[in-house]
Amino acid sequence: MLFFTQCFGAVLDLIHLRFQHYKAKRVFSAAGQLVCVVNPTHSLKYAPARCAAAQTPVEQGVLPPCHHHEAVHDPQLVPCTCPLFSCPWEGHLEVVVSHLRQTHRINILQGAEIVFLATDMHLPAPTDWIIMHSCLGHQFLLVLRKQEKYEGHPQFFATMMLIGTPTQADNFTYRLELNRNQRRLKWEATPRSVLECVDSVISDGDCLVLNTSLAQLFSDNGSLAIGIAITTSKVHSTEDEM
């Protein structure tokens, strides 16, 4: 009976997953569009200002050298960009993707246009939904967070971060689209670099912001489908020529 119950539960989970894929593809009917079902993860150590500034050697438990009062920090090292945990990892931009995939098990999808299907939107804040998006020769980090910016009033914040420098980020434009019940909502902006902090982007409101009622309007049985498209920006090259 125990074996039958476990197998039956696994079959139900598979059917539910396939049904979520079908719903997303039905809402976003573009042919060949990839759908990624993303389960929520609660932040184990939620610290809104943890990456506002790099830790100094004193904060890391290392005493600075004698006769030097300024903090010693390698500017080429990047702190962990995963907002789920207070991860002490640091490394170069070239190995950020491998760290996120191996340590934090973040999925990665390829394609210019994908559908990000976030499940269990009803869970209490703070909660994050995260994937990596490989496109146009670069990797992007999509973060959807449910957070109480004001006590008792949770909101949803969605932003796209380029795993690269701010100069590289200026060459791209990303679009987030919600489409359901003959309603459409779009957000289009230049992605921010992971050298900046996800928490500061959310605090500044420089992202797609949804209150609870608006999120429910576009959700379907507790799941929110967000269409993602990334294109190269021609604005900067045109301005440079002028």
17 lies in some domain = no
241 lies in some domain = no
At residue 9, the pLDDT reads: 54
CATH number, domain at 197? 2.60.210.10
Count structural domains, the chain: 1
119 lies in some domain = yes
The CA distance from 77 to 82, in Å, is 15
At residue 33, the pLDDT reads: 58
Q: What one-character DSSP code corresponds to residue 95?
A: G
156 lies in some domain = yes
At residue 108, the pLDDT reads: 87
| pLDDT per residue of the chain (242 residues) written in tens, 0 to 9 | 555 555 555 555 545 445 554 554 444 444 345 778 888 876 554 444 344 333 333 333 333 333 333 334 455 678 887 765 668 888 888 888 888 888 888 888 888 789 999 999 999 998 999 999 999 999 999 999 999 977 888 999 999 999 999 999 999 999 999 999 889 999 999 999 988 888 889 888 999 999 999 999 999 999 999 999 999 976 544 444 44
* Tokens (6 digits) for 92: 């170069």
Q: Are 21 and 37 in contact (CB under 8 A)?
A: yes
172 lies in some domain = yes
197 lies in some domain = yes
45 lies in some domain = no
Count CA atoms closer than 13 A to 77's CA, side-chain side.
Answer: 14
The dihedrals phi and psi of 219, each to the nearest 5 degrees, come to -90, 160
Using alpha carbons only, what angle is made at residue 214 by residues 213 and 220, rounded to the nearest 5 degrees?
90
Give bridge partners of residue 189 from the DSSP assignment. 174
118 lies in some domain = yes
Does this model's pTM top 0.95? Answer: no
At residue 54, the pLDDT reads: 36
Give the torsion through C-alpha atoms of 132, 133, 138, 139, to 10 deg.
Answer: -10
Q: Helical H runs in 61-169?
A: 96-103, 166-169
Full domain range(s) for residue 98: 33-40+78-232
How distant, in Å, are the alpha carbons of 20, 21, 172, 198 from that of 81? Answer: 28, 28, 19, 8
Is residue 70 helix, strand or coil?
Answer: coil
